[in-house]
């Protein structure tokens, strides 16, 4: 630990630096170093799926974190859809943003957000990194897709505001993301630095519209993205750019809350500079709370603190900027609801939306309806497994998650299950029994999936493809587009197929 942390004003500054940091950690119990850092003033912790065994374990964990620092922020990346941490083991029991946008009832979106907030509050979480308010204008987007409310800025805006109201009505703070908009990208910022080369007027008319709505709705925090907008700043990604954080977000949009960074261990932020220097630059840019990543260590945290202290000593970073950031973080934490003392019971489902309403928002071709109506049974389900982006992770999805959680037999259990991936080609189409249902996500973005569907369609006339991601504009590989793959959407898909094949089944008996 550096000498600046030992006495007087140096100790106060050291505490302020710690308050701006939000690390993750490994395991389901808080390590000793993390509790010690929290007692020293660490701003909080971000919990991930790997830190969670169940709701009660999470409540106990969060109680220990907030006992070490009553003003600690406990953040979680819970979007209530494909990206879920609280339901990482079983998939989320909510429809997800894209389907909420298709249903387009702001009261429903607000109720779903309130249900998410209640579930988080029951575990002691204080900040949800949601809603995702990106306008998904690029159907080839590898990291946003169904996390977005849609491709229309005004639609995204009204649902962004509704989500903020619903979530924050439970006491859990919202974080509209990923400023200034990650929807028009074809690169995953976890792995590289995406470039959005659009003029400022396009940005204001499209990407910024839902952020303005979220600010007007009172979102407590906004998360920045690691994307480069060369028309505004040709050198620094948004997280590290004073032009975007201070000039655009603070001055133009009038946001006065906490600016939190997306994880600084992502390549888009630290691929060039490393995490300690990225942390320094984020503070200089005007960010307040620095999300560091999922498996921070004590030594790594010390290296970041040392880098910030060095930047202050060198005159690159003003002490006042650090104190301002720390003050905003403390103000955010001061309004958090208390840690529940009773056991956390999070219902596996909720009644904010029923399956029929979800299924009615699916996009289904006439050909798919005819094929399903003519099929007395689904004989084969071809599961297309693609590599999920890091934000989604390894959570179960779609009808496979729903079937595992339901505990009752469905047509999915009776069908032959074939898994296709980049390493596992499809079997001979002639060997497949009964009608064939192909189920995957973002099928058009994966050449092996495109080839597999083409081979099946060329050999059979009873193939129905289900895309549970964001389909291509021409819907070439989406006979059924569900616009989400949460557990609730999986349940709705099971019920939809069951109803669609019921007539043919009845006629054969």
Name the CA dihedral angle for 355, 358, 361, 364, rounded to a multiple of 10 degrees. Answer: -50
Query: In the annotation, is 262 catalytic?
Result: yes
For the record, the structure tokens of 200 come out as 């400022």
Please name every residue paired with 291 in a beta bridge, in sequence order, or none if there are none: 22
For β-strands 416-420 and 378-384, DSSP reports them as parallel
For the record, the structure tokens of 8 come out as 């007087």
For β-strands 480-481 and 363-364, DSSP reports them as antiparallel
Distance of CA 400 to the CA centre of its chain: 20
CA–CA distance, 105 with 115 (Å, rounded to integer): 16
Q: Which of 154, 128, 111 is nearest to 350 (CA)?
A: 111
For β-strands 378-384 and 363-364, DSSP reports them as unpaired
For the record, the structure tokens of 385 come out as 């497994």
Set 262, 288, 442, 479: catalytic member: 262
**CB neighbourhood size of 434 (10 A):** 16
Set 14, 159, 190, 444: catalytic member: 190
Query: In the annotation, is 479 catalytic?
Result: no
Distance of CA 461 to the CA centre of its chain: 37
Query: What is the b/e burial string over 267-296, where b = at least 16 CB atoms within 10 angstroms of the residue's CB?
Result: ebbbbeeebbbbbbbbbbbbbbbbbbbbeb
> Sign of the CA dihedral 52, 441, 187, 285?
negative
Please name every residue paired with 261 in a beta bridge, in sequence order, or none if there are none: 224
**CB neighbourhood size of 251 (10 A):** 11
Give catalytic residue positions: 190, 262
């Amino acid at each position: 630990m550096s000498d600046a942390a030992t006495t007087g004003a140096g100790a106060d500054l050291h505490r302020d630096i710690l308050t701006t940091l939000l690390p993750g950690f490994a395991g389901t119990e808080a390590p000793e170093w993390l509790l010690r850092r929290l007692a020293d003033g660490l701003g909080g912790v971000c919990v991930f799926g790997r830190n969670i065994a169940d709701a009660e374990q999470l409540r106990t964990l969060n109680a220990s974190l907030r006992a070490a620092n009553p003003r600690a922020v406990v953040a979680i990346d819970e979007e209530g859809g494909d990206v879920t941490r609280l339901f990482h083991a079983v998939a989320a029991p909510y429809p997800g943003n894209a389907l909420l946008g298709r249903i387009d009832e702001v009261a429903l979106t607000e109720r779903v957000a309130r249900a998410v907030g209640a579930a988080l509050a029951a575990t002691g979480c204080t900040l949800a990194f949601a809603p995702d308010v990106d306008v998904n204008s690029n159907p080839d987007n590898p990291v946003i897709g169904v996390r977005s409310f849609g491709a229309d800025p005004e639609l995204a805006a009204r649902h962004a505001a509704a989500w903020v109201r619903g979530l924050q009505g439970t006491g859990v703070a919202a974080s509209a993301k990923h400023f200034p908009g990650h929807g028009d990208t074809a690169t995953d910022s976890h792995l590289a630095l995406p470039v959005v080369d659009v003029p400022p007027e396009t940005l204001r008319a499209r990407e910024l519209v839902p952020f303005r709505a979220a600010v007007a709705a009172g979102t407590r925090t906004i998360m920045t993205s690691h994307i480069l907008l060369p028309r505004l700043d040709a050198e620094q990604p948004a997280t590290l750019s004073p032009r975007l954080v201070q000039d655009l977000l603070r001055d133009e949009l009038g946001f006065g809350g906490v600016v939190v960074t997306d994880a600084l261990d992502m390549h888009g932020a630290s691929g060039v500079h490393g995490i300690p220097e990225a942390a320094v630059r984020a503070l200089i840019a005007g960010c307040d709370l620095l999300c560091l990543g999922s498996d921070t260590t004590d030594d790594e945290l010390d290296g970041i603190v040392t880098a910030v202290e060095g930047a202050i000593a060198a005159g690159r970073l003003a002490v006042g900027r650090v104190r301002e950031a720390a003050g905003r973080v403390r103000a955010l934490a001061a309004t958090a609801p208390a840690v529940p003392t009773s056991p956390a019971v999070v219902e596996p489902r909720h009644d904010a939306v029923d399956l029929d309403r979800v299924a009615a928002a699916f996009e289904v071709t006439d050909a798919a309806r005819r094929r399903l109506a003519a099929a007395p049974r689904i004989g084969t389900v071809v599961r297309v497994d693609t590599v999920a982006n890091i934000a989604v992770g390894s959570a179960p999805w779609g009808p496979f998650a729903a079937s595992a959680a339901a505990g009752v037999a469905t047509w999915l259990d009776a069908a032959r299950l074939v898994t296709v991936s980049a390493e596992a080609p499809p079997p001979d189409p002639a060997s497949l029994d009964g009608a064939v249902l192909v189920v995957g996500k973002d099928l058009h973005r994966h050449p092996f999936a495109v080839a597999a569907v083409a081979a099946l369609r060329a050999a059979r006339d009873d193939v129905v493809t289900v895309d549970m991601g964001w389909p291509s504009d021409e819907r070439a590989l989406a006979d059924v587009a569900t616009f989400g793959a949460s557990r609730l959407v999986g349940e709705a898909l099971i019920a939809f197929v069951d109803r669609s094949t019921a007539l043919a089944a009845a006629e054969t008996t």
